[in-house]
């Protein structure tokens, strides 16, 4: 037990079962796969598909969906600037806990600002934050409009909607970019395969066992 | 995907890999073990010991320590009444996510008010919230005073300190009570054994394999 300099009267408790022990138990290395992109770009679709792919390989993952968390942990937050920042900060903090617990934590939220995403990246050790950019054209996302939100935004019924009257800042150095090929969107399992392949090939050597040649088709 | 009535523009995403699949993968059932009690009553000691006991049985657990979280997720919160409530609410919400992920989530925080603990209990399905009351006399906790906080509270340097100038409301229907026997505190491994035994015997049938006769000594 030790005192941390900048927080009076709060102590840090070290426990003998640490993340290495949990990783060994799970036979995988915890990390955060952070999926960012416009509404309708396929973030949730990728998250679900990735969850299935990992599960089928015996890997434990958990999805933190930005929308879902707004019904629980972040239900006190709205959509004004400071609330959106706090929303992302909390998801980042929780993702960090899940990664520490040994899980492959898949965070799926628009997270439009580079600064906020980078703040989440900075919470984690090197190589444990894998940023996946759903690089889909606004026109496509708006055409899909599965939630009908673009329509509302265009009609002025939602203010500050990312891509319409609020900016989306694309990542500058993301680990993975998902985009159309010859004007065609990759299928969900192909998008997931791209992430699984990355996890097996790069930076997460401890889970290299999740890489199998059968999925290395991308 | 469906819309929830009371939250406009936020959708709920269902994913095909659910908590049952994760529980099967882990061979255990997720739950929350909520340890409550005075400062110095042994909450962190039990949490660590329990983490070790579960790990040694191949079970995945994760400790949410109230003090530790105040350096991350809850670093924006202080100790005034509404902040303490929000602190506990967030820990409850995160514990719920961990239980949903299939882990045995061990939450360790003073959580002095019955109402706040019950709100966390209400977040979870029946039988998935196991409240452990560290029923140790104030005199003992104050004598231990590992963090020197009682001394500060008695000197008036900390205001609203639980047990000194702020009340602790003992649980009325906790699942497990840890107390002295003949004036002697149980050893950490005995306290942990009491919880492990409960987890194996009651309410969490899916993890009954964690019960082994060797630890049924209490």
State what percent of residues in chain B have pLDDT above 70: 85
Sequence-ordered list of residues with C-beta below 8 angstroms from that of B74, at least 6 positions apart, any chain: B86, B87, B90, B91
Q: What integer is the mean pLDDT of B67-73?
A: 93
Q: Is the pLDDT of residue A205 over 50?
A: no
Neighbour-count burial of A81, counting CB atoms closer than 10 A to its CB (0-12 exposed, 13-18 middle, 19+ buried): exposed
Question: Which H or E element spans position B210?
Answer: none
Predicted confidence at residue A214, as pLDDT, reads: 36
Residues in chain A within 8 Å Cβ distance of B67: 10-13
- Distance in angstroms (rounded) separating the CA atoms of residues A202 and A180: 23
Predicted confidence at residue A79, as pLDDT, reads: 86
What interhelical angle do B43-56 and B188-201 show, nearest 10?
60
Question: CB contacts < 8 Å between A and B, how many?
Answer: 131
Is B3 among the domain residues?
A: no
Whether ipTM exceeds 0.85: yes
CATH code (residue A42): 3.40.50.300
State what percent of residues in chain B have pLDDT above 90: 78
- Give the distance from residue A200's alpha carbon to the nearest chain B alpha carbon, in angstroms: 20
Q: What integer is the mean pLDDT of A43-54?
A: 96
- Distance in angstroms (rounded) separating the CA atoms of residues B42 and B14: 39
Q: Is the pLDDT of residue A11 over 70?
A: no
Predicted confidence at residue B13, as pLDDT, reads: 62
Is A5 among the domain residues?
A: no
Q: Is the pLDDT of residue B39 over 70?
A: yes
Q: Is the pLDDT of residue B90 over 50?
A: yes
Total count of domains within chain A: 1
- Distance in angstroms (rounded) separating the CA atoms of residues B105 and B97: 9
Predicted confidence at residue B214, as pLDDT, reads: 36
Q: Is the pLDDT of residue B42 over 80?
A: yes
Question: Between residues B206 and B131, which one has the greater pLDDT?
Answer: B131
Is B9 among the domain residues?
A: no
E-assigned strands of A151-192?
Answer: 176-179
- Distance in angstroms (rounded) separating the CA atoms of residues A114 and A120: 10
Predicted confidence at residue B2, as pLDDT, reads: 37
Is B187 among the domain residues?
A: yes
Summarised one tens digit per residue, pLDDT across range A146-189 is: 899 999 999 999 999 999 999 999 999 999 999 999 999 999 99
pLDDT band at B210 (very low <50, low <70, confident <90, very high): very low
- Distance in angstroms (rounded) separating the CA atoms of residues A198 and A204: 9
| Domain that includes residue A34, residue range | 27-138+169-207
- Distance in angstroms (rounded) separating the CA atoms of residues A34 and B122: 30
Is A116 among the domain residues?
A: yes
pLDDT band at A16 (very low <50, low <70, confident <90, very high): confident
Give the CA radius of gyration of chain B. 18
Predicted confidence at residue B194, as pLDDT, reads: 96
- Distance in angstroms (rounded) separating the CA atoms of residues A169 and A185: 21
- Distance in angstroms (rounded) separating the CA atoms of residues A29 and B212: 29
Predicted confidence at residue A126, as pLDDT, reads: 80
Question: Which H or E element spans position B162?
Answer: none
Question: Do A107 and A64 meet the contact criterion of CB atoms below 8 Å apart?
Answer: yes
Q: Tokens in use for B93?
A: 């919400």
* Closest by Cβ to A12, choosing from B25, B68, B94: B68
State what percent of residues in chain A have pLDDT above 90: 78
Is A151 among the domain residues?
A: no
Predicted confidence at residue A15, as pLDDT, reads: 66
Neighbour-count burial of B170, counting CB atoms closer than 10 A to its CB (0-12 exposed, 13-18 middle, 19+ buried): middle
Question: Between residues B211 and B128, which one has the greater pLDDT?
Answer: B128
pLDDT band at A193 (very low <50, low <70, confident <90, very high): very high
Instruction: For residue A26, give Cα distances in angstroms to A85, A104, B68, B152.
Output: 33, 11, 24, 43
Cβ contact (<8 Å) for A26 and B60?
yes
* Closest by Cβ to B101, choosing from A13, A76, A103: A103
Is B8 among the domain residues?
A: no
Neighbour-count burial of B141, counting CB atoms closer than 10 A to its CB (0-12 exposed, 13-18 middle, 19+ buried): buried
Q: Is the pLDDT of residue B5 over 90?
A: no
* CA closest to A57 among chain B residues: B25
Summarised one tens digit per residue, pLDDT across range B115-135 is: 999 999 999 988 899 999 999
* CA closest to A93 among chain B residues: B73
What is the DSSP secondary structure assignment for residue A192, as one 8-state letter? H
Of these residues, B111, B197, B208, B214, which one is catalytic? B111
Predicted confidence at residue A123, as pLDDT, reads: 96
- Give the distance from residue B17's alpha carbon to the nearest chain A alpha carbon, in angstroms: 6
Question: Do A94 and B73 meet the contact criterion of CB atoms below 8 Å apart?
Answer: yes
Predicted confidence at residue B79, as pLDDT, reads: 86
Task: Indicate if A208 belongs to the active site.
Answer: no
Question: Between residues B208 and B143, which one has the greater pLDDT?
Answer: B143
Strands A176-179 and B31-36: unpaired
Is A101 among the domain residues?
A: yes
Q: Compute the CA torsion angle B63, B65, B69, B71 (nearest 10 deg).
A: -120
Q: Tokens in use for B216?
A: 């049924």
Summarised one tens digit per residue, pLDDT across range A63-110 is: 999 989 999 999 999 988 899 999 999 999 999 999 999 999 999 999
Q: Is the pLDDT of residue A141 over 90?
A: yes
Q: What integer is the mean pLDDT of B123-152?
A: 94
Of these residues, A39, A61, A108, A111, which one is catalytic? A111
Total residue length of chain A: 218
């Amino acid at each position: 037990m030790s005192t941390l300099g900048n927080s009076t009267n709060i102590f840090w408790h070290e426990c003998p079962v640490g993340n290495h022990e949990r990783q060994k138990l799970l036979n995988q290395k915890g990390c955060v796969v952070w999926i960012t992109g416009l509404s309708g770009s396929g973030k949730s679709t990728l998250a679900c598909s990735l969850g299935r792919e990992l599960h089928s390989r015996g890997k434990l993952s958990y999805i933190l969906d930005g929308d879902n968390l707004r019904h629980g942990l972040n239900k006190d937050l709205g959509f004004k600037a400071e609330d959106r920042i706090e929303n992302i900060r909390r998801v980042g903090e929780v993702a960090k806990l899940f990664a520490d617990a040994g899980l492959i934590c898949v965070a799926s939220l628009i997270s439009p600002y580079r600064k906020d995403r980078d703040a989440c990246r900075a919470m984690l050790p090197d190589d444990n934050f894998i940023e996946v950019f759903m690089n889909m054209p606004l026109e496509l996302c708006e055409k899909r409009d599965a939630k009908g939100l673009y329509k509302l935004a265009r009609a002025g019924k939602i203010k500050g909607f990312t891509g319409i009257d609020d900016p989306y800042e694309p990542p500058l150095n993301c680990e993975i970019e998902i985009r159309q090929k010859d004007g065609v969107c990759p299928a969900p399992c192909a998008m997931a395969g791209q992430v699984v392949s990355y996890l097996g090939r790069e930076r997460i050597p401890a889970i290299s066992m999740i890489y199998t040649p059968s999925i290395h088709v991308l």
